[in-house]
C-alpha cells in the first residue's frame, strides 16, 4: 500500500459519500490529486453519488477510463465500480469489446477532450454510429492539462496555451455536434457549475438504451485559467478581462459563457461564437441498439427464427 493516506490529515469526512469512494474506502478521507479549483472532484463526487443512490450493480457497470488528468478520478469514483484504465483515446473500442462479449453490461466511458475528440476521434465517431449501449462522458477543459497546458482541439479561439503562446487561431471541434452527426441517440452538454442538470442527464443516460454522450465543461485553473482572461467568449462586447486564477472565478466564467439551448435558438452565429450551448440536444429512445441487433444476427446464423 502506498503512503498517500499518511500525507493527508485523517480528518473526519465531511460527506457520507466520501467513505464509499475508492480513496475514502482506503484512506478514510477525501484525497484527490487534482489542483485547487479543478472540476474533476465534482465529477467524481457526482459519479459516486449516483452509483450509490441508484444502487448500480458493480458487475454490470464497468468504468473505462482514458488517459488525461481525469484518469486520477478513479480515486474519487465509487470503490465497488470496476475500473479499467485504457490507452489514450482507446476507451471506446475497449467498451465495444466488453459490451459485445457480455451484452448484459453497460460500460461507462470517461474521456477527455483531447482523448475523445483528438487522438480517439475516429473511435468516438464509430461508437456513436453503431449506437452501442454505453455512456460516454467527455470532460472538456479545453486544454491538454496533464502534459502542462498545450492547445487542444477544443481550445477556444484567441486563448493562450503553451503550444499557442500568441493566440489560438484554429477552429475548435464541437463534441456535441460531432456526436449528433455521427448518430448518437442521447446527446447533452452540461457543466460542473450545473451539478443538478449533470445528475439529471446522467440518470437519464443510465436508463437510455443506446449511445449517450454527455459533454461536461470543466475548469482548469492551473493551465487555462491562469493564462487567459475571463473576457474570452465576450471579445466582441469590448469587455475588459481579468485573470481567472481561482476556481470560483473560473466557475463564474463558465456560467457566464454558457447559453441554454432554448436561448441559443434565437441567437446568431456571431453571438454564439466561443460560447458553450448547454442542454439536451437529442433523445431518441427507440433507435435500434447494436448489441441487440447483433443478437438478432446470431439467432439468424444459428438457424432460429
Partner 1 sequence: MLSNVNGKRFLKPGRHLMMGNVAMSEGALSAGLSYFGGYPITPSTEVIEHLAIRLPEVGGVCMQMEDELASINSVIGASLTGAKAMTATSGPGLSLMVETISMAANLEIPFVFCDVQRAGPGSAGPVTEPHHNDIGLVRFSGHGEFQVIAIAPMNCQELFDLTITAFNFAEIYRCPVFILSDAYLGHLHEIVNIPPKEEILKRIVKRELPEDIIKKFSYKDDISGKYIIPKPPVIGTDYCPGIFLHMAHNYEGLPSPKLTQFMEVLVEKINSNKDKICITEKYKLEDAEIVVVGYGLPIRASYRAVDLARDEGIKVGILRLVTVWPFPDAIVKDSVKDAKAIIVPELNYTGIIAEQVERVSKLGMPIIKIPKVGVFHHPDEILNAIREVAK
3-state secondary structure of 88: coil
Place of cell 486563448: 159
Place of cell 466557475: 251
- Nearer Cβ to partner 1 (37/62): 62
Among 101, 262, 265, 270, binds partner 1 (CB under 8 A): 101
- Nearer Cβ to partner 1 (149/175): 175
- Applying CB under 8 A, what is the total number of residues that bind partner 1? 40
- Nearer Cβ to partner 1 (111/222): 111
Name the one range near partner 1 by CB under 8 A: 7-15, 119-127, 146-154, 216-224: 119-127
Place of cell 479561439: 157
Among 8, 85, 173, 272, binds partner 1 (CB under 8 A): 85
A 10 A CB-CB count for 221 gives 23
Element at 109 (helix H, strand E): strand 108-112
Name the one range near partner 1 by CB under 8 A: 5-13, 88-96, 137-145, 281-289: 88-96
Query: First and final CA of the chain: distance in angstroms?
Result: 54
Residues 141 to 160 in contact with partner 1, rule: CB under 8 A: none
- The answer to whether 181 contacts partner 1 (rule: CB under 8 A) is no
Q: What is the phi/psi pair of residue 172, to 5°? A: -90, 155
Identify whether the C-beta of residue 261 lies closer than 8 Å to the C-beta of residue 73.
no
Rounded-to-integer distance, Cα 37 and Cα 65, Å: 22
Contact footprint for partner 1 (CB under 8 A): 1-2, 22, 59-60, 62, 64, 74, 79, 82-87, 90, 92-102, 104-105, 122-123, 125-126, 294, 297-298, 300-303
Amino acid at each position: 500500500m502506498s503512503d498517500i493516506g499518511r500525507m493527508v490529515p485523517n480528518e473526519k469526512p465531511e460527506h457520507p459519500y466520501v467513505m464509499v469512494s475508492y480513496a475514502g474506502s482506503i484512506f478514510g478521507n477525501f484525497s484527490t490529486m487534482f489542483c485547487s479549483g479543478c472540476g474533476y472532484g465534482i465529477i467524481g463526487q457526482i459519479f459516486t453519488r449516483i452509483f450509490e443512490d441508484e444502487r448500480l450493480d458493480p458487475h454490470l457497470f464497468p468504468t473505462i477510463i482514458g488517459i488525461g488528468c481525469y484518469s486520477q478520478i478513479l480515486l474519487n469514483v465509487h470503490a465497488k465500480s470496476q475500473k479499467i484504465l485504457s490507452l489514450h483515446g482507446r476507451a471506446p473500442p475497449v467498451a465495444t469489446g466488453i459490451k459485445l462479449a457480455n451484452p448484459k453490461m453497460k460500460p461507462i466511458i470517461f474521456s477527455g477532450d483531447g482523448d475523445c475528440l483528438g487522438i480517439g476521434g475516429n473511435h468516438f465517431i464509430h461508437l456513436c454510429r453503431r449506437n452501442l449501449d454505453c455512456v460516454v462522458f467527455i470532460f472538456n477543459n479545453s486544454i491538454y492539462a496533464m502534459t502542462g497546458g498545450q492547445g487542444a482541439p477544443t481550445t477556444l479561439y484567441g486563448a493562450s496555451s503553451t503550444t499557442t503562446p500568441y493566440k489560438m487561431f484554429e477552429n475548435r471541434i464541437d463534441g456535441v455536434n460531432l456526436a449528433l452527426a455521427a448518430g448518437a441517440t442521447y446527446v447533452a452538454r452540461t457543466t460542473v457549475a450545473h451539478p443538478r442538470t449533470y445528475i439529471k442527464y446522467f440518470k437519464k443516460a443510465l436508463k437510455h438504451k443506446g449511445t449517450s454522450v454527455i459533454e461536461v465543461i470543466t475548469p482548469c485553473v492551473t493551465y487555462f485559467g491562469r493564462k487567459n482572461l475571463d473576457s474570452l467568449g465576450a471579445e466582441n462586447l469590448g469587455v475588459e478581462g481579468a485573470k481567472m486564477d481561482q476556481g470560483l472565478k473560473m466557475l463564474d466564467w463558465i456560467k457566464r459563457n454558457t447559453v441554454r439551448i432554448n436561448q441559443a435558438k434565437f441567437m446568431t452565429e456571431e453571438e454564439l461564437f466561443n460560447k458553450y450551448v448547454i442542454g439536451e440536444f437529442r433523445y431518441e429512445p427507440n433507435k435500434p441498439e447494436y448489441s441487440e441487433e447483433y443478437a438478432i444476427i446470431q439467432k439468424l446464423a444459428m438457424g432460429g427464427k
